[in-house]
A and B are shown apart, each in its own frame.
Chain A
Amino acid sequence: MPAKKSAAQDGNAAPLIRMRDVSKFFGAFQALDQVSLDIGMSEKVVICGPSGSGKSTLIRCINRLEQHDAGEIMIDGVTVDDSAAARAVLRNNVGMVFQQFNLFPHLSILDNLTLGPLRARGLAPAAARELAEYYLERVRIPEQMQKFPDQLSGGQQQRVAIARALCMEPRIMLFDEPTSALDPEMIAEVLDVIEELAATGMTMIVVTHEMGFASHVADKMVFMDHGRIVEMAPPKRFFSEPESDRCKTFLQQILRN
């Protein structure tokens, strides 16, 4: 695959994603409370925390599935808002994988993958198809292009969803609990694909409770509670000596299972 163009500005200094005091309300409920987070090029960040802690909201604000109410989010130096510039930066940089896969059930696997490249990126049909074939192979779904989503297993569907996101050739991938809706025996095949992707240098933010996966993929672990980042550390320190009690309790509970 062609290498993605390098960052618009001087690489190592400015982070690829920069969040400053981001707050988000759902009515009276505060989902995010002044969250600040920098994510560098090729960095892998795993976010965990109890349900309702704001992890999903955090990554959904990054690609504008939710609109933050205060603070600033910048991707590659561009402020994320409703402007055309922000839309362009999201289109060229950010892909997302959902907990429920969200494949288009009325379209074949091939059409699921080529829709974005054809309509949003303006690729020619032959090029879009080539791209789809390449990424399907990467997620190890061979010879299923003409099938429909419901003919595949959950694990296969999620891998197709990953391929669909990759067909936009993003630099940043957001994963919102990508294995939470899967049967246990299918979790590994999806995590393997995500791990391989991590090895290619993709910038990734993963919301997950798969701590084994997190410990050897993450560069940075983030623990959230009540809409705030409570703890942020490299995985080694995060798992061996968490500072806050809330994080300790959470880890104890989750690692016991």
Chain B
Amino acid sequence: MRILKFWPLLTLFALAGCSGNWGWYVVNPTTPAGQRNLMFLLDGLYYTIALSVTAIAISVLLGLLVALPGLARQRPPRVINRVYVELVRAVPILVLILWVYYGLPQVADISISVFWAGVLALAISDSAFQAEIFRAGIQSIDRGQHEAAHSISLSYVDKMRFVILPQAIKRILPALGNQLVYMLKMSSLVSVIGMEELTRRANELVVTEYRPLEIYTVLVMEYLVLILLVSAGVRWLESRMGMSDRR
């Protein structure tokens, strides 16, 4: 069954074997030119990872901050939560990236690097989803836990920090893992503003080598390996945390 997970790879290898139009020399690791090209492509890995990890860290914090008013008993904070989530979710990531990079500097009179524009756009876009994940996670915690925290006079912050969030985060870990995978993929969109990540590197090489099929195939595999590794990491983390989870 496990092998089924690799069917895209297998398909690609099969294709490579039966077509005469492939020109694998561009990324042939045994030739100096192929090596150089491969290194050029792999070099984008750093920014793809840096971008995604920074963005997910910010979006988790932002998502939590947006989720909390959504859980309030009063109406005004809940409205703030709804408006933020609906508004942000309605904007395509690509559009948000363009707006943050080209628009924000004019509106806010600041200069923003390609990297931080990308991080900001990805983080804002993802935070709406994170907020929904957190809200669902927190709501899934039994009311008795809130009441017990109240009965020993914990403040709201202490209740969240020591009682509710540790339990909620364990439950939403799979969803947070999914968001990281999603983020890794969406980071490819930041290539449009010139971020030198995996996709941009591939585009640049295609322009000089005229071998889109082979180069984009390598690109596909780069993402595939990266994401399979992240998925495995998330599963490992889940099982580790699961050991101390008593429910």
Contacts and interface: CB of A to CB of B under 8 A. Distances in A.
Interface of A: 63-65, 87, 90-91, 95-96, 98, 100, 102-107, 115-116, 119-121, 148-151, 161, 164-165, 167-168
Contact of A105 (B150, B153, B162, B167): B167
B151 interface: yes
A90 B144 CA distance: 18
Contacts of A102: 142, 144-145, 147-148, 151
Interface in B188-247: 244-247
B244 A116 contact: no
A125 to B, nearest CB: 14
A150 B147 contact: no
A168 B150 CA distance: 12
A137 B142 CA distance: 29
B163 interface: yes
Interface in B148-198: 148, 150-155, 158, 162-163, 166-167, 170
Contact of A150 (B148, B151, B154, B247): B247
Nearest to A87: B153
Q: Which of B152, B153, B246, B247 has the most A CB atoms < 10 Å from its CB?
A: B152
A99 to B, nearest CB: 9
Interface residues of B, number: 21
B244 A106 contact: yes
A16 to B, nearest CB: 18
B162 to A, nearest CB: 6
Interface of B: 142, 144-145, 147-148, 150-155, 158, 162-163, 166-167, 170, 244-247
A106 B147 contact: no
Nearest to A147: B246
Contacts of A168: 152-153
B153 A116 contact: yes
Q: Which of B142, B144, B145, B148 has the most A CB atoms < 10 Å from its CB?
A: B148
7 contacts: A96-B151, A98-B151, A104-B163, A105-B247, A106-B244, A115-B162, A119-B154
B154 A115 contact: yes
B74 to A, nearest CB: 12
Nearest to B163: A104
Contacts of B162: 104, 107, 115, 119
Contacts of A148: 244, 246
A157 B158 CA distance: 23
A106 B158 contact: no
